[in-house]
Structure 1
Amino acid sequence: MDLNILWFWIVGFFFIGYFVLDGFDFGVGMALPFLGRDDIDRRVMINTIGPVWDMNETWLIVAGASLFAAFPEWYATLFSGFYLALLLILLALIARGVSFEYRHHRPESRWKKWFDGMIVVGSVVPALLWGVAFANIVQGVALDSGHNYTGTLFDLLNPYALLGGLTTLLLFFTHGVVFISLKTDGDLRLRARKLAVRSGALTIIVAAVFLLWTNLANGQVASWPLAILAAVLLIASFFANLRGRERYAFSLMAGTIAVAVASLFAALFPDVMPASNDVANSLTIANASSTPYTLSVMSWVAVAVLPFVLAYQAYTYWVFRKRITRASMPEDTQPRSDSPSASAPVLGG
């Protein structure tokens, strides 16, 4: 396999990891108004992702760095053409991160509601715009002969892209609600399970339409089996959640997102940024990649470092595997100087 093809799929792997892991973080944030009946509920929900949300976001940094090093032309076109959309995502992620850290610094309910609202917005905006961005990449955008995007932000908000954004929004929301049911107990767990059933049914319909549209309009032969597998996994997750099998439901939702993103990369291959106005202006794996020497060095670095990163993240999830309950929330709402326990990390309150 050529190294540029290998790195196309490595970049895809990093984006898959980001959407699977930060996807349920977005879902937890979006679920605050639906499941958080009081401040303790909201604190429990935030603490389910307390030890891992910032680590999950590092997958985006690695994906962006890999894209810059392996496909500089793709990176330049994407980040210049989608500048406003990506800036909105960045601002939303900053607002969400600040809210996680500052929510618990004052006990007033008004203070906490303000940051809760920022968490919701900081989760909705990326969940929507990532789908819009990837849908446009797969569909193709207007590029000139220098591979510069010639459209506007409103050109990116076309029906297919908005459907892609709605699909990722619902996938992440359901993924996060299932995660809440997996990580909590009592009434909150039951309410999360019921909400996941309702949102899962809607997600199945919207995702099926989007994947069908994608593969009929842009899909390669290899993308069809992946799209069908994603649909099967999503339906299986719905029934697992219906039966109260949270572990299976969460694993199947993670598989759904992973396979769905893989199907988008398969539909894109061998292009990395197709031109909708003139195929001659398209960016491909061949004309957008770095030199073979650069890709070779990157490959050796990835082989040496990636196993340790994966092992560390797996260990972190194992340490913080216990359920978070209302009883585990400390009464003191002031900042704490001691380290949080593995079973109940103190974040957001």
Structure 2
Amino acid sequence: MTDAPTKTLSLEEVKALAKSVLVSAGLDAHSSEVIADLVRMSERDGPRSHGLRLLPVYAQYLSSGYANPKAAPSIRRIAPGVLRGDGDNGFYQVAALAARAELIEMARENGIAAFTCANCHHLGALRFDTGPLAEAGLVALGVVNSLSMVVPQGGVRPVFGTNPMSFACPRPGSEPIVWDQASSMVALMDIKMAAAEGHDLPRAGGLDTDGQPSTDPNAILETRSLLPFGEHKGAAIAFLIEVLGAALAGGTLSVDNQERESFEALNIKGGTTLIAIDPSRFGNPAFNDYIARICAEIEGNGAARVPGDGRLKNRAATQVNGVSVAPDLLAQLQAL
């Protein structure tokens, strides 16, 4: 017996499919456009665990009543360099897009500015919020806390979420440098995708039922106990994000997920913070030269590469060849 062949979709077909699923789930036209484009870019650049495979989760948020399908986020300036958002129980990316122009203006005016947002849902890659700021010539840092499933080093129960962070900065003469990563050894969606595809993780990403580090994605999903990257160092980063995300924004702490459980949702309504810095206001006129030098020291240095540049190769390939979608996933999405 052979596996059913995959189907190749163009990136525009990916976006159209995503938008049709979101609209069918009740999401309004504007939010559907925003989220569908994020799905397209995730399939384009990778990791694809943040693309089409997230659509059933988005749909569940909407169909269960956990997320507001017609959210109208509100944003107000509460200090010269601080914007505060309320997502109206919608998706964070919609609120972040609404705040982007004013955040950029504030950073150029003050040298540094921040946007915090609560009462919102976040699924997907943070780099699509930091990247546009780098394209505008700014340095950006974004964080969001998430459902507790990461065990602190030496602990016996999860305290932190996978708590991702993203960094971006302009690069003279080339695409901005943009990367994001979870505070866990492996992102949750990568574990779920490995389980769906029937293979182990390349390295131990969580604990099994005996409390031992494991590469078995099904065992990790059963315990929902992930390992932080770099042991105590990754746990410290997860703590930092819990403070910069939940505490500053007033979002739900990673351990407080009773509401999520009642809706059988994947994630909590965590807090997000996006910081924008204008390097031209920080007193070093040679900033771009520094960035170029750092990159030059990495490029051609064995197999090393500038963080995030692997996705640029993926982008070039998928823009030409499209993306291959597994038949079971395609059938699931078409049924939605």
Instruction: Return the structure number with greater strand share.
Output: 2
TM tier, smaller: under 0.3
Instruction: Return the structure number with greater helix share.
Output: 1
Instruction: Calculate the TM-score normalised by the size of structure 1.
Output: 0.27
